[in-house]
Structure 1
Amino acid sequence: MDSRRRTVTRADVARLAGLSTAVVSYVLSGSDRPVSEASRARVLAAVDALGYRPNAAAQALSRGRSTMIGFIVPDQRNPFFAEMMSAVDGAAHAHDLMVLTLNAHERRSVDGDEIAGLTSQQLEGIISADALTPQELTIIERNRIPLVYVNQFTARPGHPTFSTDYIAGSRLAVEHLLSLGHRRIAFVGNESPLDTRESGWRRALADAGVPAGPVFHSEYSLRGGYEAGLQVADRRDELTAVFAASDQVATGLLTALHERGVDIPGEVSVVGFDGTPEAAYTWPALTSVSQPVHEMANDAVALLVSGELSPMFRNYPAELVVRASTGPVPAGR
């Protein structure tokens, strides 16, 4: 005996409800065609009894638009991207859309199979918080799927791009530390030339006539921040403050400094970047440059829905959130 469960169809729902498949379609699609309340109730009761699930692709074809968008993130383990996923999902929900997320950390096959799989899902469009390879872009463009970028350091040719002003945000962090009397300010972050946070740190110090402090390059991870933090602790006599280019890195750094007995902010002040909710619950609570994640997500989804996808680049201002991880420069330093 074949134990596999047969897929329930719209015809099954119509048969159980004692109505036509057209009436079932009107009810399930939210059509403005007149359907009596009694018939609507019979359809919904049949759907519930049979466990019927409408086919998303078929619905997209019948409505002339999809009910789903794709979202590509570099690493969903990073609290910043977890928050962005939540923001995109909330923005999509406001437009009656669902979100299919692709975690780029787990992909990157040479032939772009994962992107090809994503584009096969009858998507309204794709939002990417990650840089895409030429081959991945070709797959998306060949399928004529609208694409909007977020979380980029520069404009992406041919596509709308939304970004935080990373240079100005880095300046906020540095100027805050300078206002507290710090003049030996280190940088911890990625060494990629595309990442403009180190550049923003250098510019802000140069504009203040202050020499750049030590640089500790690390990957964007808790481990990367922790390992950089051990180096910071070993060279604590050379600095009084650290600007960490992400909250995730800053969290790992704080752990390393605690293990080495470094008082924060008594000996070393620390500023992060991202403004993730977790930053308020580190010890001490982390001063951070907050990115306008929800505003970017709302605008990106609204642009996809509007269909007006002319190439453009928009920078959003960041905001400094001061907490307990920063304080005045230690006396005598």
Structure 2
Amino acid sequence: MPKEPVTRNDVAEYAGVSTAVVSYVVNEGPRKVAPDTRERVLEAIRVLGYRPNATARALRMGTTRTFGVITPDGGNPLFAELAKAIDKEAATRGYVVLQTSADGDPEIERAKIGELLARQVSGLVLVAPSADPSVEGVPVIAINRSLEAVSSVRPAYREGARRGVEHLVSHGHRVIGLVIGGAGHPERELGWRDALEAAGLPEGPIVRTSFSREGGYDAARTLLAASPTAIFASSDLQAIGVLRALHEAGVRIPEDIALASFDGTPETEYTWPPLTVVRQPVEALAREAVQRLIDGEQSVEALTVPTELVLRKSCGC
């Protein structure tokens, strides 16, 4: 027969204390416990393998100390890196994270929000959400997109893209193409335009496509007909698709066409050549989002965090 679960009574009996004292040790209060007594209780917990009931504790404390995180695409390296950073930051504050993906579908996103709220999460992080959520009772933070109804934390997209394109200009490029995601993401395109205008250059060729490797691959094949000397991709996934298309066409990088991208995920260090990137401040975004949830942030303030330009071989550096 399987053993019965170890209870608080078992721990109290083993340690020779009351169940209240066990509770004080497990919950770190509300009353202090003498060091020797505390050590006896902890030893009893170790020996017996006692595991406090997290659900019951949450009901007593009035919080589950759990955050829900919804990303639009669990397979995207950027969103995976963000989710990992949020989980790490939450863990340092004594919280756990339930992470799921909406597959870029607004209906699935709404359903996932409902499921996480049903699990009584203490707060929600929506990474690049598709729309303003209808949520009451818990703080909600949006990352990578500004929404009207909730607090948001996002990179400085326009400034970051401008710096990336300015760097390509500094290498002497005068025809700089752009691979950009679909509607609803204008700031990276505006940054590209800002840099060209400041340098007195005409608008380069543009291809609008999906934020994917396939999108970048198809876009590069189209751009080749316009003979750019450099390409700025609005995401790493697009840039990786661009790299393949250029390699297949026998184009040398950066001798024939230089390349830079936005995001700065770890895999860009291992492409050939390694990609020059405008890196999103992933750790800072995660830290700010978690802190706002813990603070119970309910305002609609939008915080913009600076990006970092990381120079590698794909631009000619």
User: Which residues of 2 match residues 56-67 of structure 1 at below 5 A?
Assistant: 56-67=54-65
Aligned to 1:148: 141
From 179, 202, 227, the counterpart of 2:193: 202
- Unaligned 5+ residue runs, structure 2? none
The superposition leaves residues 73-115 of structure 1 with CA deviations (integer Å, 9 ceiling, x where unpaired) of 1222222112212221222123222121122228654693321
Please give the root-mean-square deviation of Cα atoms over the aligned residues, in Å: 2.6
Structure 2 counterpart of 1:33, which letter? Answer: R
* Percent of pairs with identical residues: 42
8 Å contact 1:226–1:254 — kept in the other structure?
yes
User: Which residues of 2 match residues 217-236 of structure 1 at below 5 A?
Assistant: 217-232=208-223, 234-235=224-225
In structure 2, do the counterparts of structure 1 residues 81 and 179 end up closer, same or farther at CA, with 3 Å as the change threshold? Answer: same
Structure 1 counterpart of 2:60, which letter? Answer: S
Aligned to 1:324: 313
The superposition leaves residues 179-228 of structure 1 with CA deviations (integer Å, 9 ceiling, x where unpaired) of 11111111112121334212321232233332222222221122222232
- Cα distance in 2 for partners of 1:323, 1:115 equals 39
Aligned to 2:124: 126
Instruction: Give TM-score scaled by structure 2 length.
Output: 0.88
Aligned residues: 317
Stretch of structure 1 that moved more, 83-92 or 198-207: 198-207
Stretch of structure 1 that moved more, 223-232 or 34-43: 34-43
Aligned to 1:331: none
Structure 1 position 132, deviation (Å):
4.6
1:300 aligns with 2:298: no
- Unaligned 5+ residue runs, structure 1? 329-333
- Cα distance in 1 for partners of 2:184, 2:293 equals 30
- Cα distance in 2 for partners of 1:132, 1:23 equals 49
User: Which residues of 2 match residues 205-216 of structure 1 at below 5 A?
Assistant: 205-216=196-207
Structure 1 position 253, deviation (Å):
1.4
Aligned to 1:167: 158
Partner SS state of residue 112, structure 1: helix
Structure 1 position 36, deviation (Å):
4.6
Structure 1 position 274, deviation (Å):
1.0
Structure 2 counterpart of 1:192, which letter? Answer: A
From 21, 24, 28, the counterpart of 2:22: 24
8 Å contact 2:260–2:277 — kept in the other structure?
yes
In structure 2, do the counterparts of structure 1 residues 304 and 254 end up closer, same or farther at CA, with 3 Å as the change threshold? Answer: same
The superposition leaves residues 57-80 of structure 1 with CA deviations (integer Å, 9 ceiling, x where unpaired) of 322232343322122212222221
Partner SS state of residue 300, structure 1: helix
Stretch of structure 1 that moved more, 208-217 or 264-273: 208-217
- Cα distance in 1 for partners of 2:48, 2:35 equals 20
Instruction: Give TM-score scaled by structure 1 length.
Output: 0.84
